[in-house]
Every structure is written in C-alpha cells, then in structure tokens.
Structure 1
Amino acid sequence: MTDKQSEIVQPVLVRVNGVLLKEQTAQELDAISAFRPHPSDLLIASYPKSEGTTWTQEIVDLLLHNGNVESCRQAPITTRNPFLELSTKISSQTGLELLEEMDPPRVIKTHLPFQLVPVGIWENKCKVIYVARNAKDTLVSYYYFHHINQMIPKPGPWEDFVHNFMRGEVAWGSWYDHVKAFWEARQKRNILFLFYEDMQENPRREVERIMNYLDLSISNDVLDHIVEQTSFKNMKDNPMANYAFVPKEAFDQSTHKFMRKGVVGDWENHFTTEQSAEFDKDYEKKMKDVNIPFRTRL
C-alpha cells in the first residue's frame, strides 16, 4: 500500500456549527477559514453533486484559456482548480497546499456552506459562481456518490438516505440551508447564481453568462467550441475531468462512474409516489421563505 493510499481512513462525520463535515475537514477548518485569497481569485461553490460543478469548472478553464483544450488537459481538474477543503491527500497535496503553490488568479472549488466560506473571499470581493440543482435530482446523485466515495459514510438504504437528506444529516449539511444562504447573498456579494437545469436547457446561453461575469470577450466560434468540448459526453470521456485519476481507495467507480447520467428528472426513477409527496411537503415548509426558481423537469 502506498503512502497516499494508507492515508484513506474510515470516514467519520462531525458536527461543526450545526453542519456535518468530514472529520479531517473539521480538523483543518481553522486553517481553511484563515485562507486569504487574492482579489483576482474565483470561487466556484455548490452543494455536493449539484452536477454542474465540474461542468462549470471546465467551462471557466476553457474561457480563461480562450478555448485551448490542450492547455486545460495538462493536469487533473483537482490540480487546476484546488478543492479548498480537500484534506485527505488523494492527489498528494491538500487543497490549501496546492493553493499555496499557485500564483493568482486561481480558480477554487468548495462545497462549504456560506457561513463556513473563508471571510477573505468576501473581504477581498472575489468573484463567486454558485451552481445549484433541484433538490430531488441532487439527492439521487448524492446517494449514488456515497456508494463510490470512500471518504464519506455509506448511504444505507435509499429510504433512510431520503430522510437523512431532508434533515441535513449528511456531509456538508442541509441542502436547503446551503442554497438559500447563497441565493439570499447573491446580489450583495456579487455572486453569479447558476442553475444546472438552465445549463442543460441552453448551455450556450449559460456559457455566455459566465463569460460576461468574468469580464471576458471571446469570439462566437470559440464559444461554440467550448460548448461542444464541455458536453456531458466529452466531459465523461475527458480523463482530466471525469475523476478517473482518483485512486480506487478514494473513489471506487467499479459499479458506476463519478459522471453517471447528467440528466434532469432522474429522481422520477427513484422516488415512490409516497416519498415524492412527503418530500414535496417538507420542501414547501423549508423553502417557504424564499422563491428560488428550481425546476424538477425540463
């Protein structure tokens, strides 16, 4: 067993400020909180398995490199866009260690809820892109992700996971709290709020929105090229983006891949009629104070 593999330990979740986090993340939270970004850094934030996270990372990388695919395939996505709270060294370095070695501007990924994002992000007025996906499809994707991710606890039976998700008793906490906090802060903090469903419906439109937010000017031909290169099929076949480079001891993709389906409405293949009704009732209660235009079908 290599040193890298031996660092993968039995996953444990601990509660920090009401949010369940991996034990290693909780132990390093002070250092994460103290991270001081450069004003030119970009943060891409999302709740886990919002599906558009990796997609957005690749879009941003191609936009920043004017569509140069080879430049974006020189290293795995975890190296190009460090995962801020990555604590287990599945890529030989933690997210913070990678960031320390990189010169700004840097593109940073996080799943941390709004209240745990380093305050320096806001103080330095960094640009932030938040990617959100409807709750039901996120739940399904997160359920499958628990089966391959060896760094978080196994999900247990489907019906149990549905209730754990509804209660926020999963890693990175409540989906409801996560999306609501970023939504409510989007204007004050200049956050570009993206919906996965919008990206699926009209990827070219959303790529242009990202380009404009980043104050870039790119030709129509290059934008078309970026849309094509970041299609689900091309992303799934891209070894620098599909997480095939992650050791099996961290991501066991033998049963299904990190990029599984990439569709809107897959929840209908998993929820029973009773579960869907119960979920909808709970959702209405938790989201009654906001009007976020999520769509569960296209």
Structure 2
Amino acid sequence: MDSRPELFDFHGVGMTHFYTDNWENTQNFQARPDDILLATYPKSGTTWVAYILDLLYFGQKLPEREKSIPLYKRVFNLEIAFPSLEQGPSRPIVCGTDQVNNLSTSPRIIRTHLPVQFLPKSFLEQNCKIVYMARNAKDSVVSYFHFEGMTLLHPAPGDWSSYLQRFMEEKMVFGSWYDHVTGWWEKKQSHPNLHYVFYEDLVEDCGREIDNLCCFLGLSPSSEEKEMIKRTVQFDDMKKNNLVNHSTFKLMDFKKSPFIRKGKVGDWKNHFTVAQSEQFDEDYKQKMKNPTLQFRAEL
C-alpha cells in the first residue's frame, strides 16, 4: 500500500474503498443470536470497550488467548477489507466478514463503525445485543485528526484548521459525527437490546460502567474478576500492551502518532483556538437536533 485512499460519497456517507469493497458480504452478513456488536464512530473508545467485552467473556475462560492474539483479531471490524500484509505476488484480501465467520469463540464480539442505516439487517432480526459507545464531538475530532495522520486506510488529514472545517462540513470517513451518534441514539428508543455508553462516563467511573455493561449483557462476574478487568483496562496499561495498542497492525505509521494516544476528556483544549471553539459550538447547536442526547466535553 503506497498511497492514501480517496474519500468518496457512498449513499450519502463519506467512505474509503477499504470499507465498501466487501459491501455485499457485509450487508448480507448472517448474525447469530448470541453475537455482541460493538458500534462506534471512529476514535470514540472502540478499543477500550472491545477489550472490556473480550475480558468479560474470555479473560477467565481463555487466558492464553489474551496473551497471544492481538485484540483487533479477537474483535474484528466487520466492514473492513484490505490487502493481506503477507509479502508475495498474490496478496489475498482480508475481509472482516470472513474473519468474523472464522472465529471459533462464542459469543462472537464484532465491531463496526457503520452508521445505523448501514447496519446489516440480521443483527436486528436476531435481536443481538448491541453496545454503542459515543464520545463528545470536540475530543472525537481531535482524536480522529491524529488517527488519520497515522492510518493508511484513510485520506491524509491535512492541517488542523482545515480538518476541523471538514468535520463541521461532515465530510469524514463514516460520515457525519452528528448523524452517527444521533442515529444510534434514536435506534435505542425502538431497540431495547441496545446499550448506549458515553466515553466520558467510562473515564469518570470505569467500575460503574462495567457493572452497567454486565447488567445489560446478563453477566455476573465475581468482584475479583471485575477488579482485575478494571485494572487491566487502565489507559496506560493498554497503551503499553502490544496485543491491544495495534502496534502489530502494519497499516499504521506509529512514527506519526500512537494508536492509543491520550484517552483524556478535554484534550480538545490543547488544539482548538478560542475562535475555533466558539465557531464549533455555534455549528454544534445547529446540527445537534435531538435535545435528549447530551454530551460532556469536560469532566
């Protein structure tokens, strides 16, 4: 992979071909009733919640798996399709749908960045449990900016001020942040098997949010297990853990930025100027149409 992909409009949502090349198989994906789907807008704590879910289901049962298989292979992205990183003349395409279908563990924990209107129908037909993780817009755009600087699966971000403008114009890979978080929030009203988690709540009280997740998933780990998970998913530990921090994923340039960067609430203040923040807030008021969905941009 030598060049960055172009962003293009795909049924009204910005995409790169890495997420649309396997579209038919993604849309026709056959979910199982016990599948757990983790849906997020990019850079909203996907890895954090994926790791918590993986530990809840398999930390005790399959401890050796935690020490040998990178998290992105245990909790695979459903819609992704990219050339295999194996060297050789015929590089097969790695497809998320195949990877998920090849998982031998049950339940399958699957992650997606798809907006709700692109969700494969079988997840709702099978009444799968869905966890949606959302993060405030200002921290999301900062995290996404750093991520797009280092991932070869997305267009290059350009400079910060034009990037911020593009975010406000909703010309992002996986589309508008506003549509994404609102679409899934509204789906929750009609789909009781959807649990909506806020990144800021997880930062504020990880133990409480793990309890809420267990309650939603019908799990009852011992208090020792929960303590162990809480310790294991501390941000600095995840950042150092090479099976969690994506450092073995070759389509990212770690010289530009770590994949797991800061994990703070309010880091946006180190990037936004006062004028940018005011302009963003005005724009936010126009775009966030649902008054019941409230975010915290600082703790």
Q: TM-score, normalised by structure 2?
A: 0.93
Cα deviations by residue, 1:220-270 (Å, 9 ceiling, x for unpaired): 1110110000000111111111000111xx100113200111100000111
Q: 1:218 aligns with which of 221, 244, 247?
A: 221
The letter for the 2-side match of 1:211 is C
List aligned pairs for 1:119-138, cutoff 5 A: 119-138=121-140
Task: Identify the residue that residue 283 of structure 1 maps to in structure 2.
Answer: 284
List aligned pairs for 1:32-181, cutoff 5 A: 32-50=26-44, 52-67=45-60, 69-89=63-83, 93-103=94-104, 104-181=106-183
CA separation of 1:196 and 1:281: change in aligned 2, threshold 3 A: same
Tell me how far 1:36 sits from its aligned partner: 0.9
Tell me how far 1:9 sits from its aligned partner: 4.9
Aligned length: 289
C-alpha separation in 1, matches of 2:80 and 2:18:
9
What is the SS of the residue equivalent to 1:172? coil
CA contact (8 A) 2:22 2:80 kept: no
Task: Identify the residue that residue 261 of structure 2 maps to in structure 1.
Answer: 260
Deviation beyond 3 Å, 4+ runs, structure 1: 66-71, 89-92
The letter for the 2-side match of 1:228 is R
> Alignment RMSD, CA only?
1.5
Tell me how far 1:86 sits from its aligned partner: 1.3
Point out where structure 1 has 5 or more consecutive residues left out of the alignment.
1-5
Tell me how far 1:141 sits from its aligned partner: 0.3
The letter for the 1-side match of 2:269 is E
CA contact (8 A) 1:186 1:193 kept: yes
Tell me how far 1:287 sits from its aligned partner: 0.8
Tell me how far 1:66 sits from its aligned partner: 4.8
Tell me how far 1:157 sits from its aligned partner: 1.3
Task: Identify the residue that residue 3 of structure 1 maps to in structure 2.
Answer: none
CA contact (8 A) 2:19 2:81 kept: yes
Percent of paired sites with the same residue: 38
CA separation of 1:62 and 1:120: change in aligned 2, threshold 3 A: same
C-alpha separation in 2, matches of 1:214 and 1:295:
25
CA separation of 1:9 and 1:32: change in aligned 2, threshold 3 A: farther
Q: TM-score, normalised by structure 1?
A: 0.93
CA separation of 1:281 and 1:90: change in aligned 2, threshold 3 A: farther
Tell me how far 1:112 sits from its aligned partner: 0.6
CA contact (8 A) 1:67 1:226 kept: no
Cα deviations by residue, 1:141-193 (Å, 9 ceiling, x for unpaired): 00001110111111111111111101110111000000001111113222110
Point out where structure 2 has 5 or more consecutive residues left out of the alignment.
87-93
Task: Identify the residue that residue 31 of structure 1 maps to in structure 2.
Answer: 25
CA contact (8 A) 1:67 1:223 kept: no
C-alpha separation in 2, matches of 1:216 and 1:46:
22
C-alpha separation in 2, matches of 1:176 and 1:223:
33
What is the SS of the residue equivalent to 2:229? helix
